[in-house]
Amino acid sequence: MDRKPKRRTRERILTTALACFNRQGEPGVTTSAIAAEMEISQGNLYYHFHNKEEIVNALFGEFEQEMAHLLDTITPPLNEAEDIWFFLHLMFELIWKYRFFYYDISTLMSGNHKVELRFSALLRRKEQTAAAICHSLWRSGLLQGDETQVTALAANIALVGTFWISYQRALHPRADADIALGVFQVMQLVAPRLRADARADLDAIATHYQPATTAS
């Protein structure tokens, strides 16, 4: 019984910190601001986390675990182009949930050695999963081109998936990144390589992600 309130407070700290980091960026948030947001004392916060870096590390651990679970669910061989869209949608949703990690990746990694090593490994695994998906679709005949082109496509998918949020944040500093637009951009990378029937299926799915046109 004694451990439950402590656990709830720890979880609340992480939930509140994640919301603050996503809203303001991690460098702009202090432990005192997190405590104030929760209406608890800093001493109470420090009982669970000695500093902000420990909070960031704990959040990254949660993100790492959720992303690993997602990547584990993608098991080639894949025979349907919809498999890659499903994967992309879930991946962008998860990145959005922990989006502050993607605001300025190089600064984050240079300031936190633990996150640097684990984030690098996670990014490599994401690229490997994208490569496995693309090569599976290529071997099934849904993707066209040679092996070098398919490998490059997979790398570009991982690249856009990793840096889309930071690009959008730089382009529109006061607006949230549009994850649907991120998925749409990746779809347009893949589209030219798809077999005609698969391309038609993609065009139908893409309408759900395509940005609305604005009148000039």
Token pair 């799915």 is found at 205
Answer whether residue 215 is part of any domain: no
Helix (DSSP H) and strand (DSSP E) numbers for the chain: 10, 0
Residues 36 and 67 in one domain: no
Position 216 scores a pLDDT of 39
Domain interval for residue 202: 56-206
Into how many domains does the chain fold? 2
Picking from 34, 50, 66, the residue at the C-terminal end of a domain is 50
Residue whose token pair is 């992309």: 88
Residue 214 belongs to a domain: no
172 within domain boundaries = yes
SS3 of 175, please?
coil
Are residues 36 and 73 located together in one domain of the fold? Answer: no
Q: For the chain, which ranges sit under pLDDT 70?
A: 1-7, 76-81, 212-216
Q: pLDDT > 90: what percent of the chain?
A: 48
Q: What is the CATH number of the domain that holds 24?
A: 1.10.10.60
For helices 179-190 and 82-97, give the axis angle rounded to 10 degrees. Answer: 150
Looking at the structure, tell me whether residues 24 and 81 fall in a common domain.
no
Distance (Å, rounded) from C-alpha 53 to C-alpha 31? 10
The residues, any chain, with a CB within 8 Å of residue 129's CB and separated by 6 or more, are 71, 74, 87
pLDDT reported for residue 174 = 77
Q: At CA 76, angle to CA 74 and CA 81, rounded to 5?
A: 80
Tokens representing 183 are 């998925």
pLDDT of residue 78: 64
Closest to 163 (Cα-Cα) out of 208, 83, 106, 111: 106
Lookup: tokens for 98:
């922990």
pTM summary value:
0.86
Residue 216 in any domain: the answer is no
Residue 108: its pLDDT value, please?
84
pLDDT of residue 10: 95
